[in-house]
């Protein structure tokens, strides 16, 4: 029970990697506030699975690119579980669509950046005042933030690269308060993200080119999040940790 009685907020916490993170944190004893955007059915399923396993959680709808929604999620979390947040995990984000430079307009580029970068900024700004010494923030970047991403993913890769830099900056800024800030850079993880945006032949090629010869799982990512959220990694901050089966090294 690495996170017994801790309060954790997980944005985008109802499906895929976010769902695995929410369940893992609850398994480790945290009271988990699960934010979701547009799929209440999945959110309720995640909540029920946590409760069936003996965990404690609640679900709150909200668009993490909108300050009023972010504030509402945080305030409801505080109302339900006390005046402090110990863990923040920023999973919310997405590719939206694969578009090359000539296909992108300004609105599309801005939408992708808001979804992946602004959401992290807005949520951290709202949560940090309610954190104290020993708190931990885990952001989600991507391998795309390191290598530029695949075809048509330049806006996504750019926003994730910015998350990596923002993570380093916040680690420096919040370090004197003993609040740690790290990020994960997942590679090919078996989720609906790749079901939608990546062709099967590309996924197979990437998996075969990975030293471990497979895709990763959401559970493997969640396990790493739980470790970073806990005091087991109390001297780790400002890192952007690769989890890609050895496909690329930072």
Q: Give domain status of residue 184, yes or no.
A: yes
Confidence class for position 195, pLDDT limits 50, 70, 90? confident
Q: In the predicted model, is pLDDT for residue 61 greater than 90?
A: yes
Q: Supply the range of the domain harboring residue 180.
A: 7-189+219-234
Q: What is the pLDDT of residue 199?
A: 81
CB-based contacts of 140, cutoff 8 Å, min separation 6: 17, 89, 90, 91, 93, 163, 183, 184, 186
Q: Give domain status of residue 205, yes or no.
A: no
Torsion angle, alpha carbons of 217, 223, 224, 226, to 10: 140
Q: In the predicted model, is pLDDT for residue 113 greater than 90?
A: yes
Q: How many domains does the chain have?
A: 1
Q: Give domain status of residue 1, yes or no.
A: no
Q: What is the pLDDT of residue 201?
A: 86
Q: Which pLDDT tens digit goes with each residue over 143-167?
A: 999 999 999 999 999 999 999 999 9
Confidence class for position 173, pLDDT limits 50, 70, 90? very high
Catalytic sites, residue numbers: 156
Q: Which pLDDT tens digit goes with each residue over 71-98?
A: 999 999 999 999 999 999 999 999 999 9
Q: Give domain status of residue 29, yes or no.
A: yes
């Amino acid at each position: 029970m690495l996170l017994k009685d801790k309060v954790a907020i997980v944005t985008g916490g109802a499906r895929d990697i976010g769902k695995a993170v929410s369940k893992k944190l609850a398994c480790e004893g945290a009271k988990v506030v699960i934010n979701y955007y547009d799929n209440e059915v999945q959110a309720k399923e995640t909540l029920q699975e946590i409760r069936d396993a003996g965990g404690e959680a609640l679900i709150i709808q909200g668009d993490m690119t909108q300050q009023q929604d972010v504030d509402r999620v945080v305030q409801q979390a505080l109302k339900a579980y006390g005046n402090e947040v110990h863990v923040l995990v920023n999973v919310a984000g997405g590719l939206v669509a694969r578009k090359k430079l000539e296909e992108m307009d300004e609105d599309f580029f801005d939408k992708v950046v808001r979804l992946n970068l602004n959401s992290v900024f807005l949520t951290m700004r709202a949560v940090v005042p309610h954190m104290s010494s020993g708190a931990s923030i885990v952001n989600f970047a991507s391998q795309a933030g390191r290598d530029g991403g695949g075809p048509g993913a330049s806006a996504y890769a750019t926003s994730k690269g910015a998350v990596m830099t923002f993570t380093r900056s916040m680690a420096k800024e919040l370090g004197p308060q003993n609040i740690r800030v790290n990020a994960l850079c997942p590679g090919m993880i078996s989720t609906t993200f790749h079901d939608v945006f990546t062709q099967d032949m590309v996924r197979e090629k990437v998996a075969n080119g990975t030293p471990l010869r497979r895709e990763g799982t959401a559970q493997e990512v969640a396990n790493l999040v739980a470790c970073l959220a806990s005091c087991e990694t109390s001297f780790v901050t400002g890192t952007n940790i690769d989890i890609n089966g050895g496909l690329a090294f930072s």
